[in-house]
Amino acid sequence: MNGRRGRMMDAGAGPQVGIIGAGVPIEMVIAAKALPLRILPAAGPTPRADAIIGGESAEVRALYEAAIAGRLAHLRLLVVTRQYEWLYYFLKEAVRRGDGDVPPLHIHDLIASTQPSTRRYNRQRLDRLAAALTRATGNPIDDGDLFAAIDLANTCRAGFRHLQAARDAGRASGTAAVRAVIRSATEPPQAFADSIGSRIAALPAPPAGPRLLMLGSIPADTGLHAAIEASGVTIVAEDSEWGSRSAVPDIAPTGDPLETLLDATLAAASGPDVTPRSARLGWGEQAIARRDIDAIIFAMPRSDHRFGWDYPTLRDCAAAYGKPALVLRDETLLAPEAITNAVSHFKATLDHQAVA
């Protein structure tokens, strides 16, 4: 057993720290000898949230409902990231009113930018997170713990790369891959790393249909992927931390571990909050250029007010590479059958072009 990793082997048996949103280095939670758990919205009614924050998205209402209903009360700390800052404020107000059994809260306001002007601020966010984790768990975080946690998390990164390689080779569907990534967010890192190889080997091969790339607003569940792939296509990659963007390089455990984690977190950041714009668009443009990608699907619900700024550039990039594209909007995205029907018609045009 790796000596550093041995220090973290009991991370799954300690206190639990919930995370809502991207940009929280799980290594910091592991170094505090706690289990990092991504909190995802659950389906079901949200009566208390509807009465208080009814104008918010279904995702935010579901997360709020879970917190005030006491379903997160077991957490030693709930870390809420920048993209969910209004949820944080709503929960702080619930605590002030004594409404529900909300766990201790921490806002992690990391700016998804590699600009030098934000470097000092972002480093301070990691220092504040380390202090909050120490207060919550009673376990101080030192460099040795961080390096051990980096080593453990790297085994998970290797698993994600293995999973993406299986997709690239046509051995795994997008639905199965996203399901595996989501599952990793709620289990001990070592357990995921130990089992991902056998899980990948057991996945059924997807149909030999068109290979698609998905860009836009991609939810943290398998519903959209399943509805699309029911048409006989395969989603090979998507701009989402719950899919292809999880397949990142290992982190080198050298130097100042917090500086190293900050660099890695910013390099892996995805979504409309990333700045500068060139960094936000770069991954999508490179993926469009892949020779094994036959077409592009853009998922653009009306609730996403930001991807529309990037869409014209990515649409033009697809056209420049001769890649057909399909845009899915609310009238289609709200019904799985409508998604499958729309993609089936799109697939028919792709099949016709292939024959021609």
Q: What is the CATH number of the domain that holds 105?
A: 3.40.50.11890
Tens digits of residue pLDDT in 248-293: 999 998 899 999 999 999 999 887 778 787 888 999 999 999 999 9
- How confident is the model over 203-210, as a mean pLDDT? 93
Tens digits of residue pLDDT in 31-72: 999 999 999 999 899 999 999 998 898 899 999 999 999 999
Q: Sheet containing 35-38: which strands, arranged edge to edge? A: 35-38, 16-20, 77-81, 105-108
| Phi, then psi, of 82 in degrees rounded to 5 | -55, -40
- Domain boundary among the residues 141, 161, 195 is at 141
Question: In terms of domains, do 194 and 126 share one?
Answer: no
Q: Which of 344, 347, 346 is nearest to 336 (CA)?
A: 344
Question: In terms of domains, do 127 and 216 share one?
Answer: no
Relative to beta strand 211-216, strand 234-238 is parallel
- Determine contact, residues 149/189, Cβ cutoff 8 Å: no
- How confident is the model over 332-342, as a mean pLDDT? 93
Residue 6 has pLDDT above 80, yes or no: no
Give how far the C-alpha of residue 226 lies from the chain's centroid of Cα atoms, to the nearest Å.
17
Q: What is the mean pLDDT of the chain?
A: 93
- Determine contact, residues 42/63, Cβ cutoff 8 Å: no
Q: What pLDDT sits at residue 332?
A: 86
- Determine contact, residues 264/253, Cβ cutoff 8 Å: no
Find tokens 């702080």 and name the residue. 92
Whether 3 is in a domain gets the answer no
Q: What pLDDT sits at residue 274?
A: 81
Question: In terms of domains, do 152 and 227 share one?
Answer: yes
Count of structural domains, the chain: 2
| Helix, strand, coil in percent for the chain, rounding step 5 | 55, 10, 35
Reported in sequence order, the residue ranges of 39-109 that DSSP labels E, i.e. its strands, are 77-81, 105-108
- Domain boundary among the residues 141, 173, 188 is at 141
Question: In terms of domains, do 151 and 273 share one?
Answer: yes
119 lies in which domain range?
10-141
3-state secondary structure of 217: coil
Whether 1 is in a domain gets the answer no
Question: In terms of domains, do 94 and 148 share one?
Answer: no
- Domain boundary among the residues 141, 162, 197 is at 141
pTM of this structure? 0.92
Residue 336 has pLDDT above 80, yes or no: yes
3-state secondary structure of 326: strand
Q: Which CATH number covers residue 225?
A: 3.40.50.11900
Question: In terms of domains, do 70 and 191 share one?
Answer: no
Question: In terms of domains, do 246 and 286 share one?
Answer: yes
Find tokens 């899919």 and name the residue. 243
Q: Which amino acid is at 311?
A: Y
pLDDT band for position 352 (50/70/90)? confident
- Determine contact, residues 177/200, Cβ cutoff 8 Å: no
3-state secondary structure of 99: coil
CA angle at 165 for the pair 162 and 167, rounded to the nearest 5°:
115
Q: Which of 127, 107, 122, 149 is nearest to 11 (CA)?
A: 149
Question: In terms of domains, do 264 and 221 share one?
Answer: yes
pLDDT band for position 351 (50/70/90)? confident
Q: What tokens does 7 get?
A: 């220090």
State the Cα–Cα distance between residues 233 and 344, nearest whole angstrom: 8
For the stretch 68-90, what's the b/e string if a residue is b when 16 or more beta carbons lie within 10 angstroms of its beta carbon? bbeebeebbbbbbbbebeebbeb
- Determine contact, residues 152/35, Cβ cutoff 8 Å: no
Element of type H or E holding 297 = strand 295-299
Q: What pLDDT sits at residue 355?
A: 59
Question: In terms of domains, do 37 and 97 share one?
Answer: yes
Tens digits of residue pLDDT in 283-316: 999 999 999 999 999 999 887 878 889 999 999 9
Q: Which of 29, 272, 25, 19 is nearest to 11 (CA)?
A: 29
Question: In terms of domains, do 77 and 177 share one?
Answer: no
State the Cα–Cα distance between residues 190 and 219, nearest whole angstrom: 26
Residue 162 has pLDDT above 60, yes or no: yes
Whether 330 is in a domain gets the answer yes
Question: In terms of domains, do 166 and 82 share one?
Answer: no
Question: In terms of domains, do 132 and 151 share one?
Answer: no
Q: What pLDDT sits at residue 9?
A: 41
